[in-house]
A = this chain, B = another copy of it.
Amino acid sequence: MNAPDAMSIRHAVVAAMPLAEKLFTILRRSTTAGAGVSRESYGPGEQIAHDLAAQFAREQGLDCAIDPAGNLYLTLRGRDASLPAWITGSHLDSVPEGGNFDGAAGVIAGLVVAAGLRRAGIVPARDITVMAVRAEEASSWFAGSHQGHIGSRAALGMLEPQELSGAVHSRDGRTLGEHMREAGFDPIAIRGADPYLTPERFHGYLELHIEQGPVLENIGKPAGIVTGIRGSSRARNARCIGAYSHSGAVPREYRSDAVLATAALCTLLDDAWSEMQAAGADLVFTVGKLCTDPDAHGITKVPGETRFTIDLRSQEIETLEAMTARARAIADEIGRERRVTFDLGKFDLSAPARMDAGLQEALAEGANALGIDAPALPSGAGHDAQDFAHAGFRAGMIFVRNANGSHNPHEAMAMEDFCLGTQLLAWMLVR
């Protein structure tokens, strides 16, 4: 039996769209808290979302499984159980007062594909497992020492045991392990066990997600095919140490002005960013936090200290390394010129993840067959897909256009765009 044609897939997905709308509505209604939705990692909102997904799956005749970290696996059986299965999904937690679509859209897309295929009588070649991932947004709920993306990394054997005790809840101070156990899961089993998911058992990982940047919105395209996920190099505790002195009485040549030195650093790194981008590098550069010392600064004092952060992101590890080195070199040079000392501290490096080239080609082919104008673009934000790629899975991502960014209550994904992205996902999953 050949794979079904684009027309059949479109019909199957369009027919299932009312189910998606219903799921989004119930999910929003049952997890709204404050201005947006709040589905706390290993908290009540996330559990509501998992229960909703499991109930839907049972109604649609999918198999259900849960791993020791609480990730949910909902499987539509294919024709040949001996073939490695597709795995598709995303996370169901959110940031505090976030939007309804960030994460959930990928799980609902997978469920709607399974439901739509089943209702249309289309049996896929191989099993399709929809994974509802836990705690991708853990960095917004747990402080302390951990790398985030808890659910996917636990399933893939990438969670370090010390993260279970090192991640500490921002509000109640208890550890990630305790929260996991109270939510009904088994942190001890995660520590010793072989990975729950291994690349050889799967055909690949596909994730549909809203775009968190403005690119598709601005170029007027409903969906995109992700080329890779940017890695990051981050200085969380950078400082510039100068010397406080009188703003009126000290001549220029005797000053050690931390603000003008930091401004010079920002300006020169901004210039370096322009240059590197013009030379073809993929890069964004952000100083998200910058402050003089509220206990010591004053309008009439030459500022003696600044504290700031640097966030560099790129799809190319060489670009991250080059820009990090550039930051250190420029800081040293400015330090000498301006009689200040920069202490940029440690840069935390998170490696970029390339999406599988074969999957990108197949996605482009599918978009073409379905008549969807889906350009290639990088992902600036992190996603569960990066962990699958780092674990050796073939990984691919579909972005759906979304106005107003994410991590805020104003996310705006049109259901028409979601429907097109879900068709493309279905086209891949029946192959």
Residues on A lying within 8 angstroms of B by beta carbon are 34-35, 95-97, 137, 139-140, 211-215, 218, 230, 232, 234, 236, 243-252, 254, 257, 259-260, 262-264, 266-267, 270, 273-274, 277, 284, 286-292, 294-304, 306, 309, 311, 313, 379-382, 405-408
B-chain residues with CB within 8 Å of residue A248 when the two chains form the complex: 212-213, 230, 232, 284, 311, 313, 379-382
A304→B211 CA distance, assembly (Å): 19
A263 cross-chain contacts in B, Cβ below 8 A: 262-264, 266-267, 270, 287
Report chain B residues within 8 Å CB of A215: 251, 254
Contact in complex: A245, B407 (CB < 8 Å): yes
Q: Bound complex: CA of A270 vs CA of B301, how far in Å? A: 16
Residues of B within 8 A of A290 (CB): 259, 290-292, 303, 306
Contact A140 B300 (CB under 8 A): yes
Interchain CB contact under 8 A, B311 and A299? yes
Question: B254–A213 contact, CB under 8 A?
Answer: yes
21 A-B pairs whose Cβ atoms sit less than 8 Å apart in the complex: A34-B295, A95-B301, A96-B295, A96-B298, A212-B249, A213-B246, A213-B248, A248-B311, A248-B313, A252-B274, A259-B290, A263-B270, A263-B287, A267-B267, A288-B299, A289-B298, A290-B303, A291-B292, A298-B407, A300-B311, A300-B407
Asked whether A380 and B246 contact (CB < 8 A) given A95-B301, A297-B288, A300-B95, the answer is yes
Residue in B95, B247, B379 whose CB lies within 8 Å of A286:
B247
User: Which chain B residues lie closer than 8 Å to A246 at the CB level?
Assistant: 212-213, 380-381, 405-407
- How many copies the complex holds: the figure is 2
Q: How far is the CA of A99 from the CA of B100 in the complex (A)?
A: 54
Chain B contacts for A407, CB-based, 8 A: 244-247, 298, 300-301
B254 touches A218 (CB 8 A): yes
Chain B residues, CB < 8 A from A244: 405, 407-408
**Contact between chains at B284 and A251 (CB < 8 Å):** yes
Cα-based distance from A95 to B298 in the complex (angstroms): 8
Residues of B within 8 A of A296 (CB): 35, 96-97
Q: Contact check, B250 vs A295: say whether CB atoms are below 8 A apart.
A: no
Residue in chain B with minimal CB distance to A311? B247
Q: How far is the CB of A252 from chain B (nearest CB, A)?
A: 7
A246-B381, A249-B213, A249-B379 known; A288 vs B311 contact (CB < 8 Å):
no
Q: Are A288 and B270 in contact (CB under 8 A)?
A: no
What's the minimum C-beta distance from A364 to chain B, rounded to whole angstroms?
A: 22
Q: How far is the CA of A379 from the CA of B249 in the complex (A)?
A: 6
Contact (Cβ within 8 A) B405 A249: yes
Chain B: CB-nearest residue to A309 = B299
Which residues of B lie under 8 Å from residue A304 when comparing CB positions? Answer: 408
B303→A297 contact, CB < 8 A: no
B266 near A139: Cβ-Cβ < 8 Å: no
Cα distance A57–B200 in the bound complex, in angstroms: 90
